[in-house]
């Protein structure tokens, strides 16, 4: 009810302002039609100032009468600004790729990350756009967005407090699959004929389950197990792939062959991002980029300091930079190996 009342009041307010200044508007239109370019520029500045004034009054009205709706309105306005800015950046990046023949893996890290995130945001926004197509369906969409912002809205339209809350929720959902992944590794390792590697994998899983953080060298020592059966990216059991998928925020409710394809494409994309980040250097990231990079790779960075995030990301890149495309399965499992206990475990290096 508050939403409809505030919308009606605000629309009436703006309509009042526009109709009261209508004669002046007509006079200025005639002046522009028969005036020089200098007068046209002056008229454009006048219109811009009037629009800015009307927008300021509108926001003041909402802020005083409907503060909760004003917060929603302000978040949406700023979100659309960010979205249009990102769309402009994507257009520039795509134009560079087409004109210069640059592939995704050869782009600078920030351009790669922007393309990846924009694509995911667009996929999430498409269902909401489709729902809003029928006449008057936009009212239903606003209600849905108000009550289900995490499920329906992309991060551009989350408030700062919602961003922290929703990242915490998503990470907790992801963390539920840490132990099933480790248990699956223990069971799968019994199928390997190399007794030495089997023992190393079991020891690594036991170390993580005990609350310790493994070294990069311990993870890389078993890399050969993840390039072919039974732990290669498309050689894993379907049940095991269903536990890996949520680590990348992918749905496990798909046929097995589709899950394997998605894990492969997203894993290779992450590996390419890591290579771009290695070229850039971890110390070149600002605090927000650093936390986002850690969060993407499995770490809840909002509860950590900047130095801890930088230390963890550097260790991640030690593993990632040593892997081949055929070993991307180990990169996905490293989400559990490296983030399950950090930084509480006794091993920090």
**Residue 222 covered by a domain:** yes
- Regarding whether 327 and 204 lie in a shared domain, the answer is yes
Q: What is the pLDDT of residue 292?
A: 96
- Regarding whether 284 and 331 lie in a shared domain, the answer is yes
- Regarding whether 194 and 107 lie in a shared domain, the answer is no
- Regarding whether 140 and 202 lie in a shared domain, the answer is no
- Regarding whether 195 and 86 lie in a shared domain, the answer is no
**Residue 162 covered by a domain:** no
Containing H/E element for 117?
helix 109-131
**Residue 160 covered by a domain:** no
> 256-280 and 109-131 helices cross at what angle (nearest 10)?
140
**Residue 93 covered by a domain:** yes
**Secondary structure of 295-335 in the HEC alphabet?**
HHCCCCHHHCCHHHHHHHHHHHHHHHCCCCHHHHHHHHHHH
- CB-side neighbour CA atoms (13 Å) of 286: 2
Q: What are phi and psi of 77, to 5 degrees?
A: -60, -50
Q: What is the pLDDT of residue 60?
A: 74
Rounded average pLDDT per 10-residue block, the chain, 349 residues? 41 39 43 54 69 73 75 80 91 94 94 95 82 72 82 88 94 96 89 79 94 95 91 92 96 94 96 97 96 96 94 97 96 97 62
Domain end among 149, 165, 196? 149
Q: What is the pLDDT of residue 67?
A: 80
User: In terms of residue numbers, what domain contains 69?
Assistant: 2-149
- Regarding whether 213 and 293 lie in a shared domain, the answer is yes
- Regarding whether 321 and 196 lie in a shared domain, the answer is yes
**Residue 155 covered by a domain:** no
Does residue 299 contact residue 342 with C-beta atoms inside 8 Å? yes
Query: pTM higher than 0.75 for the full model?
Result: yes
CA distance 252 to 46: 56
- Regarding whether 124 and 10 lie in a shared domain, the answer is yes
Number of domains the chain contains: 2
**Residue 98 covered by a domain:** yes
- Regarding whether 190 and 328 lie in a shared domain, the answer is yes
**Residue 101 covered by a domain:** yes
Structure tokens at 55: 């927008």
> 22-33 and 2-20 helices cross at what angle (nearest 10)?
50
Q: What are phi and psi of 231, to 5 degrees?
A: -120, 10
**Residue 17 covered by a domain:** yes
- Regarding whether 127 and 192 lie in a shared domain, the answer is no
């Amino acid at each position: 009810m508050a939403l409809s009342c505030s919308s009606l009041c605000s629309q009436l307010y703006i309509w009042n302002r526009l109709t009261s200044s209508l004669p002046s508007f007509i006079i200025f239109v005639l002046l522009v039609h028969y005036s020089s370019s200098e007068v046209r520029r002056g008229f454009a500045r006048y219109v811009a100032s009037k629009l800015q004034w009307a927008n300021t009054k509108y926001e003041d009205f909402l802020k005083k009468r409907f503060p909760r709706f004003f917060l929603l309105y302000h978040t949406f306005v700023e979100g659309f600004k960010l979205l249009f800015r990102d769309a402009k950046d994507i257009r520039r990046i795509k134009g560079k790729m087409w004109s210069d023949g640059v592939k995704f893996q050869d782009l600078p890290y920030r351009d790669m990350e922007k393309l990846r995130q924009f694509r995911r945001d667009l996929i999430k926004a498409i269902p909401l756009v489709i729902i809003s197509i029928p006449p008057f369906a936009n009212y239903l969409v606003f209600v849905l967005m108000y009550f289900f912002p995490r499920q329906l809205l992309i991060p551009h339209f989350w408030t700062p407090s919602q961003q922290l809350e929703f990242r915490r929720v998503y990470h907790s959902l992801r963390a539920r699959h840490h132990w099933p992944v480790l248990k699956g590794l223990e069971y799968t390792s019994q199928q390997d004929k190399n007794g030495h590697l089997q023992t190393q994998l079991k020891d690594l899983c036991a170390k993580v389950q005990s609350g310790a953080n493994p070294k990069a060298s311990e993870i890389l020592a078993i890399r050969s197990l993840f390039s072919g059966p039974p732990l290669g990216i498309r050689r894993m059991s379907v049940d095991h792939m269903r536990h890996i998928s949520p680590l990348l925020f992918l749905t496990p409710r798909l046929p097995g062959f589709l899950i394997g394809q998605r894990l492969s494409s997203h894993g290779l994309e992450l590996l390419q991002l890591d290579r771009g980040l290695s070229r850039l250097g971890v110390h070149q990231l600002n605090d927000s980029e650093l936390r986002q990079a850690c969060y993407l790779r499995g770490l809840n960075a909002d509860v950590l300091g900047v130095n801890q995030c930088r230390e963890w990301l550097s260790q991640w890149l030690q593993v990632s930079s040593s892997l081949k495309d055929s070993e991307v399965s180990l990169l996905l499992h490293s989400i559990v190996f490296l983030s399950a206990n950090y930084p509480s475990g006794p091993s920090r290096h």
